[in-house]
C-alpha cells in the first residue's frame, strides 16, 4: 500500500515535471479592448498560439486607465507584461519614464518601413526621434447615420466630406418636436423634441476632441511648437466652440447633457452620432438598425478629424528570450492585422487596410483617415489630456456645451490650467 502510493507520487512528479519542461514560453499581452474588439484580438491570439506551439500568448483586457495604473505599479516590481498596447499619444509619457524598449532596429529588421503604413499611425510611434512601438491601427471620429430616419426625412446620406452648412441643414430636418415641427419653424417647441438630429458627446473628454478637430480645420495647433504652452489664437478657438455650442442651444439639433449618446442613437432617439469606429460592433448588434457612416463636416478651411491609433510596445526588463518572442509575435500581428478590421479599427498596415474597404459602414472612416489629426505628443499627456472629471479640458467642454457658459472666459481658464500643468 505504502509502496504503491510512493510510486504514484513519483510517477505524478515525473509527468508533472515533463509537462513543466515542455511548457511553451509564456507571453503576457495587455490591451484595453473590453468590448467586441477584445474578441477579435483574442481570436487573432488564438490563431497565433495554434500555429506557434512553442509560444503561448495570453491576452488580458481591461479599461485603459486601470490598465496603465497597473502597468506603472507593476513595472516597479518587475512584473511588466511582455507586450503592452497603448495609443500613439500615450507613447511619449511611458517612453519618457524609460519603461519602453526602443524598437527602431527591430521594426527595420522585420522589413517594415514608413511607406507601408498610414502616415498618422506611423508618426504616432516615435518619441524624440526614437521609435518605441509598432503601429497597429487608426481610429477616428466619423458621423454614424440612421438610414431609416434619413429616408423618412427625405434625405440621402452623403458619401464623402460635406460642409458645415449642409450638415446643419440635414440636422435641422432630422430634428422633430412632438407636433412634427423642425427648429426654426414657427411654433417649434424646443422643450418637447421627440427626435434629434445628432448625438454629440459633451460630458466627457470627447467634447474637447470635437472642438480640437475644428481647431485643426482652421489650420491651428493646440500647443506651441515647443509644446510648452497653449498656442492657438483665441478667435479660432472661439469659432470652433461656437459652432458646437450652437448645435445644442441655438439650433436645438443635439440633446443637451446626454449621458449616453451611443444608446440614444441605437434606439433611434437621434438620427446621427459622432463617434469612433469602436462602436461598429454595437451598431451591427442592434436589432433593426440600418446604419452607415460619412466623414465629419468640414466646417472651416481645411479637412481635419480627430483620431488616434493603437500601437504595440514591448516594455523593458525582459530577458532576451522573451524579448525575441514578443518581437516575433508583434511582427506577426501587424502582418496579420487584416482581421483586426473586424473590430472596427482601421488597420495601419496598408495591405491589411485594403480588407477594411470591403466591410460595411467604413465609408466615413476611410474617407477621413488621410486627414486624421492626433493630439499633441507630450510626456504629460495623461494629465493634460485627461478624461478625469477634474481635467480642465473636460470641465471646459461641460461648461460650454452643457451649461451654455460664455465661451471666452471658459477658454481662457482652460488655457491657464493647461499652462500650469505644462509648467510644473
Partner 1 sequence: MTQIIIHLKVGEVMNGKKQHYRIIPYIFLIPYFFAFITFRFGPSIAGFFVSLTRWNIVGQAKFVGFQNFIDLFEDPNFIKSLTNTLYFMLLTVPALVIGGLLIAMLVDQKLRGRYVTRTFVFMPYVIMSTVVGVIWMWIFDTHFGILNYYLSFFGIKPIAWLSSINWAMPAVAIATIWWTIGFNMILFLAGLQDIPNELKEAARIDGASSWQVFWNVTFPLLSPTTIVVVMLTLINTFQVFAQVYVMTGGGPAMATLTVVQYMYVQSFQYYRLGYGSAIAYIVFIFLVGLILVERSILKKSGDIN
Partner 2 sequence: MKGKNARHLKTAILYFLMIVCTIVAFAPILWMTVSAFKPEGEILSYPPQWVPLEPTWANFAYVLKNFNFLRWTFNSVVAAVVATIIVIFIDSMAAFAFAKMKFKGNAVLYAVVLSMLMVPIQVTIVPLYLMFSSVKLLNTIPALILPTAGNVTGVFILTNFFKSVPRDLMDAAIVDGAGSFRIWWSIMLPLARPSISAVAIITFMSNWTNFLWPLVSVSSDASRTLPVGVAQFFGGQSGVSGSAPQYGPAMAAALMATIPAIAIFLFLQRYFVKGIMMTGIKG
By CB under 8 A, the residues from 346 to 385 that bind partner 1 are: 382-383
| CA-wise closest residue to 100 among 311, 299, 268, 278 | 311
Report the residue from 65, 185, 228, 350 that binds partner 2 according to the rule CB under 8 A. Answer: 65
Please say which residue, 162 or 289, places its beta carbon nearer to partner 2.
289
| CA-wise closest residue to 106 among 308, 312, 309, 310 | 312
Asked if 221 interacts with partner 2 (CB under 8 A), we say no
DSSP β-bridge partners for residue 383: none
Whether 272 and 198 have beta carbons less than 8 Å apart is answered as: yes
Asked if 376 interacts with partner 2 (CB under 8 A), we say no
- Which range in 65-73, 105-113, 126-134, 174-182 contacts partner 1 by CB under 8 A? 65-73
- Which range in 21-29, 104-112, 170-178, 253-261 contacts partner 1 by CB under 8 A? 253-261
- How is 11-63 classified by DSSP, letter by letter? HHHHHHHHHHHHPPEEEEEEE---SHHHHHHHHHHHHHHHH-TTEEEEEEE--
Asked if 267 interacts with partner 1 (CB under 8 A), we say yes
Phi/psi of residue 382, each to 5°? -65, -25
Report the residue from 11, 14, 388, 406 that binds partner 1 according to the rule CB under 8 A. Answer: 388
Asked if 56 interacts with partner 2 (CB under 8 A), we say no
Report the distance separating Cα 353 and Cα 335, nearest Å.
Answer: 11
Report the distance separating Cα 98 and Cα 78, nearest Å.
Answer: 13
Q: Map grid coordinates 500613439 to a residue.
A: 88
Please say which residue, 363 or 415, places its beta carbon nearer to partner 1.
415
Asked if 90 interacts with partner 1 (CB under 8 A), we say no
Phi/psi of residue 147, each to 5°? -60, -40
**Grid cell at residue 350:** 496598408
Please say which residue, 25 or 162, places its beta carbon nearer to partner 2.
25
Report the residue from 85, 99, 133, 176 that binds partner 1 according to the rule CB under 8 A. Answer: 99
By CB under 8 A, the residues from 296 to 335 that bind partner 1 are: none
Whether 381 and 90 have beta carbons less than 8 Å apart is answered as: yes
Shortest distance, CB of residue 317 to partner 1, whole angstroms? 12
- Categorise residue 57: left if φ over 0, alpha if ψ from -120 to 50, beta otherwise: beta
Report the residue from 6, 389, 409, 416 that binds partner 1 according to the rule CB under 8 A. Answer: 389
Asked if 60 interacts with partner 1 (CB under 8 A), we say no
Q: Which helix (H) or strand (E) holds 142?
A: strand 142-146
Query: Which option in partner 2, partner 1, none does residue 278 bind, with CB closer than 5 to 8 A by kind?
Result: partner 2
**Grid cell at residue 292:** 452607415
**Grid cell at residue 20:** 513543466
Query: Which option in partner 1, partner 2, none does residue 280 bind, with CB closer than 5 to 8 A by kind?
Result: partner 2
What dihedral angle (degrees, nearest 10) is formed by the CA atoms of 94, 104, 378, 337? -80
By CB under 8 A, the residues from 268 to 307 that bind partner 2 are: 275-276, 278-282, 285-289
Q: Which residues bind partner 1 (CB under 8 A)?
A: 65-66, 69, 72-73, 75-76, 97-99, 203-204, 255-260, 263-264, 267, 269, 382-383, 386-390, 394-395, 398-399, 402-403
Q: Which residues bind partner 2 (CB under 8 A)?
A: 28, 32-39, 42, 58, 60-66, 69-70, 73-74, 76-79, 81, 139, 201, 204-206, 209, 259-263, 266-267, 275-276, 278-282, 285-289, 308, 344, 387
Amino acid at each position: 500500500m505504502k509502496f504503491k502510493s510512493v510510486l504514484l507520487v513519483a510517477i505524478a512528479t515525473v509527468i508533472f515535471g515533463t509537462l513543466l519542461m515542455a511548457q511553451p514560453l509564456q507571453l503576457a499581452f495587455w490591451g484595453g479592448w473590453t468590448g467586441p474588439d477584445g474578441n477579435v484580438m483574442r481570436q487573432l491570439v488564438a490563431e497565433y498560439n495554434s500555429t506557434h506551439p512553442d509560444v503561448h500568448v495570453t491576452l488580458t483586457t481591461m479599461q485603459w486607465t486601470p490598465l496603465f495604473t497597473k502597468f506603472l505599479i507593476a513595472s516597479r516590481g518587475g512584473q511588466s507584461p511582455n507586450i503592452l498596447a497603448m495609443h500613439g499619444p500615450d507613447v511619449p509619457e511611458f517612453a519618457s519614464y524609460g519603461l519602453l524598449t526602443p524598437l527602431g532596429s527591430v521594426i527595420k529588421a522585420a522589413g517594415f518601413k514608413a511607406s507601408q503604413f498610414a502616415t498618422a499611425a506611423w508618426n504616432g510611434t516615435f518619441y524624440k526621434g526614437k521609435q518605441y512601438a509598432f503601429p497597429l491601427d487608426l481610429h477616428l471620429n466619423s458621423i454614424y447615420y440612421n438610414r431609416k430616419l434619413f429616408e423618412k426625412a427625405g434625405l440621402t446620406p452623403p458619401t464623402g466630406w460635406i460642409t458645415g452648412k449642409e450638415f446643419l441643414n440635414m440636422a435641422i430636418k432630422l430634428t422633430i418636436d412632438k407636433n412634427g415641427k423642425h427648429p426654426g419653424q414657427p411654433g417649434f417647441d424646443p422643450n418637447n423634441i421627440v427626435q434629434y438630429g445628432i448625438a454629440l458627446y459633451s460630458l466627457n473628454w470627447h467634447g474637447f476632441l470635437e472642438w480640437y478637430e475644428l481647431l485643426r480645420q482652421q489650420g491651428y495647433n493646440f500647443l506651441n511648437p515647443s509644446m510648452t504652452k497653449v498656442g492657438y489664437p483665441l478667435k479660432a478657438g472661439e469659432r470652433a466652440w461656437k459652432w458646437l455650442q450652437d448645435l445644442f442651444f441655438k439650433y436645438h439639433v443635439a440633446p443637451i447633457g446626454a449621458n449616453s449618446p451611443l444608446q440614444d442613437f441605437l434606439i433611434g432617439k437621434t438620427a446621427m452620432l459622432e463617434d469612433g469606429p469602436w462602436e461598429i460592433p454595437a451598431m451591427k448588434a442592434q436589432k433593426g438598425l440600418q446604419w452607415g457612416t460619412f466623414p465629419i463636416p468640414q466646417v472651416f478651411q481645411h479637412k481635419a478629424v480627430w483620431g488616434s491609433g493603437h500601437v504595440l510596445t514591448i516594455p523593458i526588463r525582459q530577458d532576451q528570450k522573451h524579448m525575441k518572442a514578443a518581437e516575433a509575435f508583434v511582427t506577426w500581428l501587424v502582418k496579420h492585422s487584416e482581421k483586426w478590421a473586424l473590430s472596427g479599427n482601421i488597420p495601419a498596415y496598408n495591405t491589411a487596410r485594403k480588407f477594411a474597404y470591403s466591410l460595411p459602414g467604413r465609408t466615413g472612416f476611410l474617407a477621413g483617415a488621410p486627414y486624421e489629426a492626433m493630439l499633441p505628443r507630450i510626456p504629460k499627456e495623461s494629465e493634460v489630456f485627461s478624461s478625469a472629471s477634474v481635467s480642465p479640458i473636460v470641465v471646459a467642454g461641460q461648461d460650454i456645451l452643457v451649461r451654455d457658459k460664455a465661451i471666452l472666459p471658459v477658454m481662457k481658464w482652460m488655457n491657464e490650467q493647461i499652462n500650469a500643468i505644462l509648467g510644473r
